[in-house]
Amino acid sequence: MSAAHPEIAQRLSNVGDPELTRLVTEKLLDQSRVTAKFLAFLKAYGPRRPRRRPAARYRVSWNDLQDQFRAIYRHRSADLHQGTPIPWVMCEPPVVSSAGVAHERTWVPRDWQGIVPMHLHIFEFVVRNSLQAWWRSMAQ
């Protein structure tokens, strides 16, 4: 559960009630497994950061993508299971600089269930390249 829900795992650990930990883990087990598989897949097959990068304030932190992927997965799950749309700002078309480089990061207030981590076009880049890397590994 700690991979998919680190905040919950930490709080349960702080409470120190093994029965409560077992109950919550059991309830979230399926969701945690799927999320953990998703995160592991992107970590194993994810691309390197793009060669051409936008200005520093518009960059995604490519050294720590797991929290960003986890946030996107939460938005996707809320959209799929609860009908809560993915935040519109993530769906905006790319903003391209005069140098022809697309902004990677989306900036929104922190009161939106945490910061929206990146535009979907950047996420699409990561997922597409991950799938292609996985496919190439299958051919070997």
Per-residue pLDDT of the chain (140 residues; tens, 9 = 90+): 666 677 888 888 888 888 888 888 887 777 778 888 888 999 999 998 888 888 887 888 887 788 888 888 888 888 988 999 888 888 888 888 888 888 887 666 555 555 567 888 888 999 999 999 999 999 87
Q: Cβ contacts of residue 19 below 8 Å, gap of 6+?
A: none
Comparing C-alpha atoms, which of 47, 66, 45 is closest to residue 118? 66
Local structure of 96: helix, strand or coil:
strand
pLDDT at residue 2, rounded to an integer: 65
Residue with tokens 């939460």: 74
pLDDT at residue 128, rounded to an integer: 94
pLDDT at residue 114, rounded to an integer: 54
Q: Cβ contacts of residue 22 below 8 Å, gap of 6+?
A: none
19 half-sphere exposure, CB direction, 13 A CA radius:
0
